[in-house]
Structure 1
Amino acid sequence: MKFKALGLWVVLGVSAGCASGKPTALERRQAVRDSLDKTYRSTEGFQAARWGMTLEEVRAALPEASVGPDGTLRMQTTIAEVPAEVALGFLDNRLAAVDVFFADVADPRTFHSLMQDLLTRKYGEPKKRIDVARELQWKKLPIRFAADLMPVQEVEAAATVQTTESALAQGRPKLINRWTTLESHVNLTQWSLPSRSVVAIQYESAKYAPKRADLIGRYSTKARQDLVKEL
C-alpha cells in the first residue's frame, strides 16, 4: 500500500505541476541539460578547435578552413611533413567529428608507427588489438566520416562532387588502432584503393557519438545499399 500511495503522490505531483503552469522536476532537469549543452566546450578536439564549438568559433580557431564544394568545412595543412586534408563535421552546429586524410604517404608502415607514437603521447595507450578486433566483429566500431554529418552550407549539385570520402567509400578500410578518452574517440585507419593507400586519423567527440550513431550519412554502407536499389 505504501508503494501505491507513493506512486499516486508522484503522479499527482507531476499533474499539479502541469496544472499550475510551473515546470516539473523533469522539465527543470532537461532545461539544465540543455543549458549545459549550449555552453559545453571540451578540452579536446583537433588543434585549436574543440568539441562543442560552433561553426563560427571553429572558423576563428582555424582561419585557414573554408567551405568545400560539397558544403563541408575543410582545410589543407601539413602534419609530420606530410600533406593532409581535414574535414570537420558539425552536429546541431557543434563540432562533433574531424577526419584527417593523408593521401601521399610514401612508406605507410613507417607512417603508421609515427602516428601511433604521437597519438599515444596525446591520448595514452591505445586499446588492445584483440579488443578492437572483437568490437569490429560485433560491429560496434562503425567507420564513418565527418562529412556524413549535415553540411555547413547547402551547395547546388553537392551530391555529384567527387571528394576524398566518396573515393574511399569504394575501398575497404582497415582499422589499425583506436584510442578512447572521456572526451574523444580516435581511429587510425587505412584504405587500400586500386592505385594508392590513404591513411586517416578520425576523431570523434565522445559526447556526440551516441546521437551521431543514429544518422545515415552520404558515404555510409546503408546509404550505398539504398542507392543500389536505384540501379
Structure 2
Amino acid sequence: MKLGVLGLLGVLGLVAGCASQKTHAQLRQEAVRDSVDKNYRSTEGFQTVRWGMTREEVRAALPEATATPDGVFRMKTTVADMPAEVSLGFLDNQLAAVDVFFLDVKDARTFQALMRDLLTRKYGGDPKTAHQLARQLKRGDAPVRFAADLAALQKDWVAVDSPERELASRGEFNVLNRWTTLESHVNLMQWTLPSKGLMAIQYEAAKYAPTRAALIGPTTIKARKDLVKDL
C-alpha cells in the first residue's frame, strides 16, 4: 500500500516536472518570438519606411512627418505627382499601417487607372479580379481599416481633426482594387462626396493584420460613438 502511494506520488511528481519543463520551453519560445517581432523589418512598406520600423526610425526616414495627439504620424506630401495627406499608424511602437488620401481628384477614372498601373508594378502582380474582390468583400476578407484606428488602442488617445474623421461621417466608399502579398495588404478606395472627388490607398502590414482584427473591433466601436457626437 505504501509502495503504491509512493509510486503514485512519484508519477505525479514526474508529470508536474514535465509540465514545468514544458512551461519553461513555452516561455523560451515566447521570448524568442517577442525578440523576432521587435526586430521585424519588412522589405515592403511606404516610400522609404518599412513595416516594423519604430517611431524613431520612421521619424528619421520621414522628418517631415509630425506626431499628433492621437498617436498617429501625419504629413502632407506629393505622391505620383498628386498632393496627398498621409497617416502612419503604429502597433506596439512598430509601423503597421499607412493611409494615403488624395483629397481633390478631378478625374477619378484616369486616377484609378494610373494608381492601378503603379501599384501593379510595385507589387509585381495584378490586383484581385472584380469577382475575387466582390467575394472577399462579402466574406469580410477585404477589411477597410484606417491607420488612425490604431490610435484608439492608446489610453491617452485624443481625437483630432483628420481625413479619417471626415470620411467616417460623410459619403459612401468603394474598394476598387486590392493587392495582397506575403508582406502587405493594399486597398485602392474611392469616396462618393457631393463636393469633391476623394480617393485613398490603404497599406496594411500582413504580419499585424490578425492582431489589428482582434484589437480594433471593440475600440473602433468607441471611436465611432465619439464621432457621432460631431454629427
SS of 2:97's equivalent?
strand
Change (3 A) 1:66 1:32: same
Tell me what 2:194 maps to.
Answer: 194
TM-score under structure 2 normalisation? Answer: 0.83
Residues 84 and 102, structure 1, Cα contact 8 Å, conserved in 2: yes
TM-score under structure 1 normalisation? Answer: 0.83
Query: Looking at CA atoms only, which structure, 1 or 2, has the larger radius of gyration?
Result: 2
Tell me what 1:149 maps to.
Answer: 150
Segments of structure 2 that go 5 or more residues without pairing to the other structure are 1-11
Query: Which range moved further: 133-142 or 184-193?
Result: 133-142
Tell me what 1:36 maps to.
Answer: 36
Residues 105 and 196, structure 2, Cα contact 8 Å, conserved in 1: no
Q: Summarize the alignment of residues 114-129 of structure 1 with structure 2, pairs less than 5 Å apart.
A: 114-123=114-123, 124-129=125-130
Residues 17 and 24, structure 1, Cα contact 8 Å, conserved in 2: no
Residues 153 and 219, structure 2, Cα contact 8 Å, conserved in 1: no
Counterpart code for 1:201: I
Shift of 1:140: 2.3
**Percentage identity across paired residues of the two chains:** 62
Change (3 A) 1:195 1:26: same
2-side partners of 1:71 and 1:218: how far apart?
Answer: 18
Tell me what 2:207 maps to.
Answer: 207
1:73 has 2:73 as partner: yes
Shift of 1:194: 2.3
Number of positions where the alignment pairs a residue of Structure 1 with one of Structure 2: 217
Counterpart code for 2:151: M
Residues 98 and 146, structure 1, Cα contact 8 Å, conserved in 2: yes
1:98 has 2:115 as partner: no
Shift of 1:28: 1.9
RMSD: 3.0
Q: Summarize the alignment of residues 1-231 of structure 1 with structure 2, pairs less than 5 Å apart.
A: 15-16=16-17, 24-68=24-68, 70-123=70-123, 124-150=125-151, 158-159=158-159, 161-170=160-169, 171-216=171-216, 220=220, 223-224=223-224
SS of 1:24's equivalent?
helix
Shift of 1:185: 0.3
Counterpart code for 1:43: T
1-side partners of 2:103 and 2:226: how far apart?
Answer: 28
Counterpart code for 1:74: R
Shift of 1:152: 10
Shift of 1:138: 1.7
2-side partners of 1:218 and 1:101: how far apart?
Answer: 25
Tell me what 1:6 maps to.
Answer: none
Shift of 1:129: 1.4
Segments of structure 1 that go 5 or more residues without pairing to the other structure are 1-10
Change (3 A) 1:225 1:63: closer
Query: Which range moved further: 125-134 or 179-188?
Result: 125-134
Query: Which range moved further: 105-114 or 190-199?
Result: 190-199
2-side partners of 1:45 and 1:82: how far apart?
Answer: 19
Change (3 A) 1:218 1:84: farther
1:82-117 deviation digits (Å, cap 9, x = unpaired): 100000000000000000000021111100000000
Change (3 A) 1:17 1:53: farther
Change (3 A) 1:197 1:155: farther
